[in-house]
């Protein structure tokens, strides 16, 4: 949902910056790699120490590379299968770094094994949600459903609430509670999205199998010696 509307807005905003990078002869793939490295560094350097505000600032700056690289590729007409594959693969790496870093906090100084487990569930379910769509499409299903919580929602909810939680370091009382709430919301939303996609693929696969069976039956009846209806 957020992916549909926010991406279009930020793409327009970031277009001049993408054009500047192209004039500097920076490649879209380089932006993808630097962006992922920045997200990983920001997450793993700050979140395990409980520095949620500054970690979120660093991560957010590099997250926008996901929009810049695609914008650059479109401007030069160089969109490619490799670029799409690289972008999608490194998105999973960046997501893993963010949730792994939060899990490290709760397993260490955060001292909350329940929230550590919830964070790991967010990590695992987010990866599986992405896999269900990719796998469904690989077997020829359109997977005509987005689901309640896609990658954009997972990142926005988690990063915004992590950033607010970090305001405790600046004296804002009780604000840290928003991060655990966000993680529970992301975990529940990811589970619902996973179920939505699995149900959709099951229905589409059943429809495709039924259509193939009807086509095979019709072809058999038209062969010489077959029964005519």
* Positions marked active-site: 91
The rounded distance, in Å, linking the Cα atoms of 217 and 220 is: 5
Smallest Cα–Cα separation from 118: which of 163, 174, 158? 158
The rounded distance, in Å, linking the Cα atoms of 30 and 54 is: 24
Instruction: Give kind and range of the element (H or E) at residue 190.
Output: helix 178-222
Q: What φ, ψ does residue 224 adopt, rounded to 5°?
A: -55, 130
**CA-CA-CA-CA dihedral for 14, 63, 31, 2, to nearest 10:** -60
| DSSP per-residue string spanning 50-72 | T-HHHHHHHHHHHHTHHHHHHHH
Smallest Cα–Cα separation from 105: which of 158, 60, 142, 152? 158
For 46, the token pair is 């700050």
Smallest Cα–Cα separation from 155: which of 65, 36, 63, 87? 63
């Amino acid at each position: 949902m957020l992916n549909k509307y926010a991406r279009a807005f930020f793409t327009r905003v970031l277009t001049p910056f993408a054009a500047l990078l192209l004039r500097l002869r920076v490649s879209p793939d380089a932006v993808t790699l630097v962006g992922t490295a920045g997200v990983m560094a920001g997450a793993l350097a700050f979140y395990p120490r409980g520095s949620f505000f500054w970690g979120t600032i660093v991560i957010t700056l590099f997250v926008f590379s996901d929009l810049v690289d695609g914008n650059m590729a479109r401007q030069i007409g160089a969109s490619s299968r490799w670029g799409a594959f690289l972008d999608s693969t490194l998105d999973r790496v960046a997501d893993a770094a963010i949730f792994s870093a939060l899990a490290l906090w709760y397993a260490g100084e955060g001292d909350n094994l329940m929230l550590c487990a919830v964070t790991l569930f967010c990590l695992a379910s987010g990866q599986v949600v992405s896999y269900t769509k990719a796998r469904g499409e690989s077997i020829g299903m359109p997977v005509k459903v987005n689901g309640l919580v896609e990658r954009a929602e997972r990142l926005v909810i988690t990063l915004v609430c992590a950033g607010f939680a970090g305001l405790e370091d600046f004296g804002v009382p009780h604000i840290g509670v928003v991060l655990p709430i966000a993680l529970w919301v992301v975990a529940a939303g990811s589970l619902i999205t996973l179920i939505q996609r699995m149900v959709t693929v099951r229905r589409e696969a059943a429809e495709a199998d039924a259509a193939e069976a009807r086509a095979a039956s019709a072809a058999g009846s038209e062969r010489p010696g077959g029964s005519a209806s």
